[in-house]
Chains A and B, each alone.
Chain A
Amino acid sequence: MSTSTIHDIGYRHYEGRRSGRAYVLRSLYVHNLRAAFGLGRPARAKIMPFLVAALMLLPAIGSVAAFAVTDQEDALIRYASYANIMQVIVAIFLATQAPVLASREIRFHVIPLYFSRPVGHLDFVLAKAAALATALFALMAVPVTVLYIGGLVAKAPDSGEQLLRYLGALVGCVLYALVLSAIGMVVAAFTPRRGFGVAAVIAVFMLSTAFVGAVQGIAEANTNFTLQGWIGLGTPFNLVDIVQVRLLGARSSSPGIAPGVAGGVVALAECAVIVVGSVAVLYRRFRKAGLS
Chain B
Amino acid sequence: MPIIATQGLTMRFPRVTALDDLSVAVEPGVVGLVGANGAGKSTLIKILLGLLPPTSGTASVLGLDIAREGLRIRETVGFMPEYECLPPDVSATEFVVHMARMCGLPPTAARERAADTLRHVGLYEERYRPIGGYSTGMRQRVKLAQALVHDPKLVFLDEPTNGLDPAGRDEMLDLIRRIGAEFGISVLVTSHLLGELERVCDHVVIIDGGKLLRSQAVEAYTTASGVLTVEVEEGRDTLGQHLYDQGVAVHPEGRFLVVDIAGENTYDLIRDGVADLGLRLIRMEQRRHHIEEVFQTEPEPSGGPPATGVVPQEASR
Chain A interface residues toward B at CB < 8 A: 10-14, 16-20, 23-24, 27-28, 31, 40-42, 45, 104-105, 108-110, 112-119, 290-291
Cβ-neighbour of A13 out of B46, B98, B105, B151 (below 8 A): B151
CB pair A114 B120 closer than 8 Å = no
Cβ-neighbour of A40 out of B46, B90, B182, B184 (below 8 A): B90
In whole angstroms, how far apart are the Cα atoms of A142 and B94 in the complex?
A: 29
CB pair A14 B130 closer than 8 Å = no
In whole angstroms, how far apart are the Cα atoms of A27 and B102 in the complex?
A: 7
Main secondary structure of the interface of B (DSSP, over half): loop
Q: Please, which residues of chain A bring their CB within 8 A of the CB of B104? A: 18-20, 23-24, 118
Q: Please, which residues of chain A bring their CB within 8 A of the CB of B87? A: 104-105, 108, 110
Q: Does B75 contact A (CB under 8 A)?
A: yes
Given contacts A118-B75, A118-B103, A118-B104, contact A112 B85 (CB under 8 A): yes
CB pair B81 A42 closer than 8 Å = no
Chain B interface residues toward A at CB < 8 A: 46, 49, 51-52, 71, 74-75, 77, 79, 81, 83-90, 94, 98-99, 101-106, 109, 113, 116, 120, 130, 146, 150-151, 182-184
Q: Please, which residues of chain B bring their CB within 8 A of the CB of A20? A: 104
In whole angstroms, how far apart are the Cα atoms of A40 and B98 in the complex?
A: 11
In whole angstroms, how far apart are the Cα atoms of A280 and B75 in the complex?
A: 26
- Give B88's nearest chain A residue, CB to CB: A108
CB pair B52 A291 closer than 8 Å = yes
In whole angstroms, how far apart are the Cα atoms of A119 and B51 in the complex?
A: 11
CB pair B94 A117 closer than 8 Å = no
Q: How far is the CB of A123 from chain B (nearest CB, A)?
A: 11
5 shortest A-B CB distances, which residue pairs? A14-B151, A116-B79, A18-B104, A27-B101, A11-B183
Given contacts A11-B182, A117-B74, contact A108 B84 (CB under 8 A): yes
CB pair B109 A112 closer than 8 Å = no
Q: Please, which residues of chain B bring their CB within 8 A of the CB of A28? A: 102
Q: Please, which residues of chain B bring their CB within 8 A of the CB of A23? A: 101, 104, 106
Q: How far is the CB of A292 from chain B (nearest CB, A)?
A: 9
**Which residue, B75, B99, B102, B146, has most C-beta atoms of chain A within 10 A?**
B102
In whole angstroms, how far apart are the Cα atoms of A27 and B83 in the complex?
A: 25
In whole angstroms, how far apart are the Cα atoms of A17 and B151 in the complex?
A: 12
In whole angstroms, how far apart are the Cα atoms of A10 and B120 in the complex?
A: 8
CB pair B120 A11 closer than 8 Å = yes
CB pair A291 B46 closer than 8 Å = yes
CB pair B106 A112 closer than 8 Å = no
- Give B101's nearest chain A residue, CB to CB: A27
Q: Please, which residues of chain A bring their CB within 8 A of the CB of B83? A: 109
In whole angstroms, how far apart are the Cα atoms of A118 and B79 in the complex?
A: 12
- Give A111's nearest chain B residue, CB to CB: B85
Cβ-neighbour of B51 out of A19, A45, A105, A116 (below 8 A): A116
Q: How far is the CB of B93 from chain A (nearest CB, A)?
A: 10
Cross-chain pairs A/B with CB under 8 angstroms, 23 sampled: A11-B120, A14-B105, A14-B113, A14-B150, A23-B104, A23-B106, A24-B102, A41-B89, A42-B89, A105-B87, A109-B81, A110-B86, A112-B85, A113-B85, A113-B99, A115-B51, A116-B74, A116-B79, A117-B75, A117-B99, A118-B71, A118-B74, A118-B102
In whole angstroms, how far apart are the Cα atoms of A42 and B105 in the complex?
A: 25
Cβ-neighbour of B103 out of A42, A117, A290 (below 8 A): A117
Given contacts A18-B103, A108-B88, contact A13 B51 (CB under 8 A): no
Q: Please, which residues of chain A bring their CB within 8 A of the CB of B94? A: 40
In whole angstroms, how far apart are the Cα atoms of A16 and B52 in the complex?
A: 30
- Give B150's nearest chain A residue, CB to CB: A14
CB pair B79 A14 closer than 8 Å = no
In whole angstroms, how far apart are the Cα atoms of A186 and B116 in the complex?
A: 38
Q: How far is the CB of B19 from chain A (nearest CB, A)?
A: 15
- Give B79's nearest chain A residue, CB to CB: A116
CB pair A116 B49 closer than 8 Å = yes
Q: How far is the CB of B129 from chain A (nearest CB, A)?
A: 10
- Give A23's nearest chain B residue, CB to CB: B104
In whole angstroms, how far apart are the Cα atoms of A210 and B109 in the complex?
A: 52
CB pair B109 A14 closer than 8 Å = yes
- Give A108's nearest chain B residue, CB to CB: B87
Q: Please, which residues of chain B bring their CB within 8 A of the CB of A31? A: 98, 101
Q: How far is the CB of B280 from chain A (nearest CB, A)?
A: 44
Given contacts A10-B182, A14-B109, contact A110 B103 (CB under 8 A): no
- Give A18's nearest chain B residue, CB to CB: B104
CB pair A117 B113 closer than 8 Å = no
Q: Please, which residues of chain A bring their CB within 8 A of the CB of B98? A: 27, 31
Q: Please, which residues of chain B bring their CB within 8 A of the CB of A24? A: 101-104
- Give A292's nearest chain B residue, CB to CB: B83
Given contacts A108-B88, A109-B83, A109-B84, contact A291 B102 (CB under 8 A): no
Extra pairs beyond A42-B130, A104-B87, A290-B51 (20, CB < 8 Å): A11-B182, A13-B151, A16-B105, A19-B104, A19-B105, A19-B106, A27-B98, A27-B101, A31-B98, A40-B90, A40-B94, A45-B89, A108-B84, A109-B83, A110-B86, A112-B79, A112-B81, A115-B51, A116-B51, A118-B71
